[in-house]
Structure 1
Amino acid sequence: MTVPTATGDVRLRRALLAAERDTSPRLSPDGRSIAFLRTGDSGPEVWLRTGDGAERRLAAHHAEAVQDLRWTADGSALLYRHSPRGRESWALSGLRGAAFDPIRISSGGSVTEYWLSATEPDALVYSHRDARSRSTRLFQAGLGDHDRDPGGGPRLVAADPGFHRWLVDSALRPRGGTRFAADGSTEIVLGDDLGTARTVLTVPVDATPDLAVYGFSRDGERLFLLTGGATGTRRLVAVGSRDGSAATLFEHPELDVGGYPIGNDGVWFDPVTGEPDLCAVMDQRLRYHGLTARARAAVASLAATDEHSAVILDRSADDRTWLIVRVHDDGPIAYHSYDPATGEAEPLFVNRPDLVGRELSRLEDFRFTAGDGLAISGYAMRPRSGRPPYPTVVLVHGGPAGRDLWRFHADAQYLASLGYLSLHVNYRGSKGFGGAFRMAGYGEWGGLMQHDLYDAVASGVASGLVDPARVAFCGASYGGYASLLAACTRQDLVRCAVAISPPCDLVSFTERPPPYWQPLAVLLRRQVLGARDSAHYRGRLDERALRRRSPAQALDASCAPLLLAHGVRDPRVPVAEVDRFAERAGDLGVPVRYLRFEDEGHHVRSNANRQTLFTEIERFLETHLGV
């Protein structure tokens, strides 16, 4: 193997720290063009790639976030939502016609969702929340309104009847919505119109994390959704919009329906019929399950291999052309045009062109048995040089009902380039492995979920992979909380910790959750405090126990060195909470470095800020782990 030069190392790390360049591609209805986002140092831009490979910039939204790109049914316009970075307050804009002229559909407040008509390409409906209210109203707009009438614009369709999310059919008729009951359960409210809507299905509070609503069948008679619960797995269900009858369309006996975040959430629909025809589950790798003979044949050549997993991103209106991406663990993901009839794939472009041809580390499966006998899985990434045991960073995923996946992990690759092993643990409470496994994390913030992480280190030490004298924890959101707690309570195990956007005080977190989480307050408390009336409930945690499990209360002068990072715009974890923690740690004499990003929210997104963050992480780990 060729040893990279110092200059090569610097260039590699700079490329790993940069945001993905080309992302979020959307296939035009005729299958001939692809709209996508291109992100540079200034921020995201909307681009178009035509069938001959030519590329063209359509719009720039520097210092913003852009998401939810969608074509109208005839391909005459492209819509998307955008927000100042970290604000999570979304405007709806678009580009129309052969010249892709810009149109602004909404401003002020936040567009939470929008729907396009299958038969009237000029029409759309969107839900909108005012800046100072949690109330969400429904508006209708036409893409040509402002051309025909300068005083025209969106028209109110319906005021808020207490819905968390609206349900709109393909004819853009509001048919109901979802709303939270006092006990935290979710009510599915349906009818031929809002005047006749009634609750047809109640999803228990403990099944709410599994709930995903896709939309109506073409005739409006069925609503497709994913649901799970305390037992069984997340499954695809069709609910009768008139009588609430529920029929399971697909269920795996061991794994939840789900997929990669870059694609659909485990369910794909035939664009010709509007019916679901594919489902997927994720164990260590993605597995497809065709619901029709045609779909089974189409995905036969998309089965995961040792080299990549193929993810379906989009399908043309006639279903003759699919847009897929091949996910690699040791290189950039590669977009392809795929013919479902022949199984042939034609390469298009990659998301990180600066990494093409680089020799990078691979992910390997990592499995162990927790102290109480529960089987836990995850991944490990070794550095390409050196010999075990390695200095190790435990990368704790957020959620906690998230999960780690087999994928290209830029942060882990960065650590590997510095000589660190990384562990990626799907501790109890992670999603994807059934309701019982997810709910095994209820009441275990700082408890058994935390001990799963410590058991992972112990397993790595026993196998000879992990150097027990050089272990760090690193994570964001819940992962930041777990990393902080480890530094405060397990100095015998953890030499230092990196915590990004961490909740610091479980007492205030459960008693006074941030406004962002108010609709889910009951579920949040059940997750943190324990699941009452659940087979996994081990007794309600009292305030004393919450304090023991809170980094803010466990912090003392013996805490391991800390690197903290937080976005001032974060709507989920108040910046003042992290400010207080950092100040108190410094007053106690704990070695602490605090990065406060004025232009970020719950995540550190910009290339410049990621460069700053990981440069500090590199110095921090070198100081405390000695690499």
Structure 2
Amino acid sequence: MKRYLLSAAVLATMLPAHAQSPSPAAAPAADAPLIERAKIFGNPSKTGGRLSPDGKWLSWMAPRDGVLNVWVAPAADPSKARALTEEKTRPIRTAIWSPDSKQLLYIQDKGGDENFLLYGVDVVSGKQTSLTPFEKTRVRPIAYSNKVKDRVLIGLNNRDARWHDVYSLEPATGKLTLLLQNDGYAGFIADEQLNLRVAEKARADGGTTYFRLKDGKPDGEPLADVGLEDAQTTAPLTFTADGKTLYWTDSRGRDTSALVAQEVATGKTTLVAQDARADISSALYDPKTGAAQAYSVDYLKQDYVALTPALKADLDFLKKHIKGQFTVGSRTESDDQWLVSADSVTAPPATWLYERNTKRLTQLYVSRPELEGAALAQMYPHEIKSRDGLTLVSYLTLPKSANADAAGKPGKPAPMVLLVHGGPWGRDGYGYNGYHQWLANRGYAVLSVNFRGSTGFGKRFISAGDLQWGRKMQDDLVDAVDWAVQRGVTTADKVAIMGGSYGGYATLAGLAFTPTTFACGVDIVGPSNLFTLLKTIPPYWEAGKQQFYKRMGDPTTEEGQALLKERSPLNFAANIQRPLLIGQGANDPRVNIAESDQIVEAMAAKHIPVTYVVFPDEGHGFARPVNNIAFNAVAENFLAKCLNGRAEPIGKALKTSTAQVKHGAEFAPGLQDALE
């Protein structure tokens, strides 16, 4: 499906800003010095670094007047950086280079509505251009080539909101040329000459059919028919530069998806790499030939495996000289320079310039230099067994007060926050995590669990979550809590549940379906009614609708309606016994604000305490720094009362945000005073 309720991990991309000086509340045990919220969640000093294809420029996102904007500098002298954009309110979170290295391209929406439009800014003149000047339109990138310099392929859904027509765009002039009117394709793959070669179409059974394209139309028999079981673990990735080979991530005939090369002319496939533990869905490709040079495996931790001697030498060098995990980001066309992101967990991530010819590493920036030297906590990967024998890859972070040994076994229990990822078709991973660090610093153990349905661990693990929202998926979370209690990480009466999107649903489900398991819950943009959730999904998710139905419950059948009703926390709101905090963006196109409104209304009608904070200028998560800081200020004071942890006072955090407390200010410590 490749379309998640929580995209690109909402919790990880929330961008807050200012906070008050710390003043810890009473805590049950000594811990590390309190770290200000702003230092963990505030605007990074720099992020999203990229090399221009010709190697002459560096770009990144950095604050300008408190808002993330696009910056550029000569690669030979990063000190000569200058801002290219002037966003005043909403952060720009990513930008890519045009193929000719003359412009930076970025997307932006309005108030979190996810109608992303494409903009370009000239590197030399600073001139900004709206490249898709439409309303109620969501641009989708389709193809970018190292060979064709003057144009890219994009999709626009301004004709029919459900489908993205394919256009050729010339960034230099803004000229748009329609290449294909799309009346039912979910996506496309183009070759290096920007010829559309493969089209993806959803099947009624939740699977996918892939067609060869010729002149914009299916050519011959389908290239591949993929059933529901393989639909999220099998897909074409990219063509080699000569167009003769197509790489796939492919789980057909196996459990975890492998990297497979297919000869286009004959259809013959060759296994390039596989791993029995985890899916292989990403690789490093030669910028000149497009041939796979290395692949990435992410089970407990992420690691690169080389496929060529040259890349092995580079990767071995980086593994030796970079502390912790690393990822290779952008590479120049000549492949003589790479940008490499380093993550040691207990230090803020850093970005390095790697010059391949001389094996030289130069640190360009640290994303959050204010955290250098701070008492950040270690993260420990664990394999937890579910009650029916599945292996749940999970990540535990412990507060300093837990007195953990070198292996991460705690000397004494601490209150714990179960932090649930979104999607649910996504995953948690190992690395620096702002939410883990924040909560651990406040005195909590933090546990993130890849419950069944999570991606990255094979098709059987995903399929084990089919029709299991609120049931076996929820059981996995409870099993992980039991594991933590048995291991001495925490005690059964001091566990909170928290998450965004699907994680918000899991929070509501935890409080409604197992009302005494959790001490309290924090729900961020979580759906409360699965029937209304499916009824209000964005029109551009049309292609994935049948897969939603097959994996969640089909609202067009009586059986499906009954299942969705049974799994909707809204219908069991009267069972909730423990404190609940809800955060919601008013413009959320994925989880409509009605999802939060209706459960708050149901709980209020039964006089069940609930605190409800709405942000009128946000969508699926809180992108604006002041808004995210405001919600986190409320959340940590809420958790401090519930779990007896520490909290930085709310102070003026709400005053500088757009937060509207719609209900229950009296149930969250310090909230009423902060509003006055």
TM-score (structure 1 length as normaliser): 0.89
The number of residues matched between the two structures is 602
Cα 1:470–1:190 shift into 2, 3 Å = same
Taking the TM superposition and a 5 Å limit, the aligned residue runs for 1:385-464 are 385=401, 388-464=412-488
Counterpart in 1 of 2:283?
267
* Change beyond 3 A, Cα 1:67–1:240: farther
Residue number among 40, 53, 69 corresponding to 2:78 in the alignment: 53
Higher alpha-carbon deviation: 594-603 or 169-178: 169-178
Pairs within 5 Å for 1:360-375: 360-375=376-391
Using the TM superposition, name which of 67-76 and 406-415 deviates more: 67-76
What is the deviation of 1:386? 5.3
1:239-388 residue pairs with structure 2 within 5 A? Answer: 239-242=262-265, 244-258=267-281, 266-303=282-319, 307-340=323-356, 343-385=359-401, 388=412
Structure 1 residue aligned with 2:176: 154
Displacement, 1:31? Answer: 2.9
Distance in 2 (alpha carbons) for counterparts of 1:66 and 1:172: 27
Q: Residues 19 and 444 from structure 1, CA distance in 2 versus in 1: closer, same or farther, beyond 3 angstroms?
A: farther
Letter in 2 for 1:562: L
Task: Give the deviation of 1:280 after TM superposition.
Answer: 0.7
**Corresponding position: 1:118 with 2:142:** no
Measured after TM superposition, the shift of residue 229 of structure 1 is 5.3
> Which residue identity is paired with 1:603?
G
Q: Which has the higher contact order (CA 8 A, sep 6+)?
A: 2
Letter of the 1:84 counterpart: K
Alignment of 1:104 with 2:130, yes or no, is yes
Single out whichever of 39-48 and 477-486 deviates more from structure 2: 39-48
Distance in 1, Cα, partners of 2:626 & 2:90:
14
Q: What SS is found at the alignment partner of 1:555?
A: helix
**Amino acid across the alignment from 1:251:** Q
Name the structure 2 match of 1:534.
none
In 2, Cα distance between the equivalents of 1:439 and 1:485?
A: 20
The answer to whether the 8 A contact 1:392-1:471 is kept is: yes
Structure 1 CA distance, aligned partners of 2:574 and 2:534? Answer: 23
Pairing of 1:194-205 with structure 2 (within 5 A): 194-195=216-217, 197-198=219-220, 199-205=222-228
Q: Secondary structure at the match of 1:576?
A: helix
Distance 2:379 2:420 in 1: 16
Give the Cα separation in 2 of the matches to 1:473 and 1:82: 32
1:45–1:511: structure 2 CA closer, same or farther, 3 Å change rule?
closer
Q: Deviations over 1:183-209 (max 9, x none)?
A: 222222223432463431122223222
Question: Which letter does structure 1 place at the counterpart of 2:177?
Answer: R
1:467 corresponding residue in structure 2: 491
- 307-316 vs 125-134, which deviates more? 125-134
The match for 2:550 is 526
Given residue 285 of structure 1, which amino acid in structure 2 is its aligned partner? K
Structure 1 residue 165 corresponds to structure 2 residue 183: no
- Do the aligned residues in 1 keep the contact of 2:323 with 2:342 (CA within 8 Å)? no
SS for the counterpart of 1:154 is strand
CA drift at 1:10:
6.3
Q: CA deviation at 1:592?
A: 0.3
| Equivalent position SS for 1:191 | strand
Q: Which has the higher strand share?
A: 1
For 1:162 and 1:244, how far apart are their aligned partners in 2? 25
1:226 is aligned, of 249, 257, 281, to 249
Counterpart for residue 656 of structure 2 = none
- Which residues of 2 match residues 437-586 of structure 1 at below 5 A? 437-509=461-533, 515-529=539-553, 543-556=561-574, 558-586=576-604
Listed one character per residue, the Cα deviations across residues 132-162 of structure 1 (whole Å, up to 9, x for unaligned) are 622322222334436xxxxxx3222222242
The answer to which of 122-131 and 282-291 deviates more is 122-131
Q: Aligned residue for 2:18?
A: none
In 2, Cα distance between equivalents of 1:328 and 1:81:
30
Whether contact under 8 Å (1:557, 1:585) holds in the other structure is: no
Deviation, structure 1 residue 544: 4.4
- Deviations 1:92-117 (Å, cap 9, x if unpaired)? 22223533432332111222114344
Q: Counterparts of 1:584 and 1:196 in 2: how far apart (Å)?
A: 51
Task: Give the superposition deviation at 1:476.
Answer: 0.7
The unaligned stretches of length 5 or more in structure 2 are 1-20, 25-31, 404-411, 646-676
Q: Deviations over 1:545-583 (max 9, x none)?
A: 543322111211543211011111111111112101111
- Answering whether residue 619 of structure 2 is matched by residue 595 of structure 1, we say no
Alignment match of 1:91 (pick from 105, 110, 117): 117
Which residue of the partner structure matches residue 28 of structure 1?
52
Give the Cα separation in 2 of the matches to 1:370 and 1:472.
20
Determine the C-alpha separation between the residues in 1 that align with 2:177 and 2:310.
42
**Paired letter, 2:178:** L
CA RMSD of aligned residues (A): 2.7
Corresponding residue of 1:210? 233
AA matched with 2:572: A
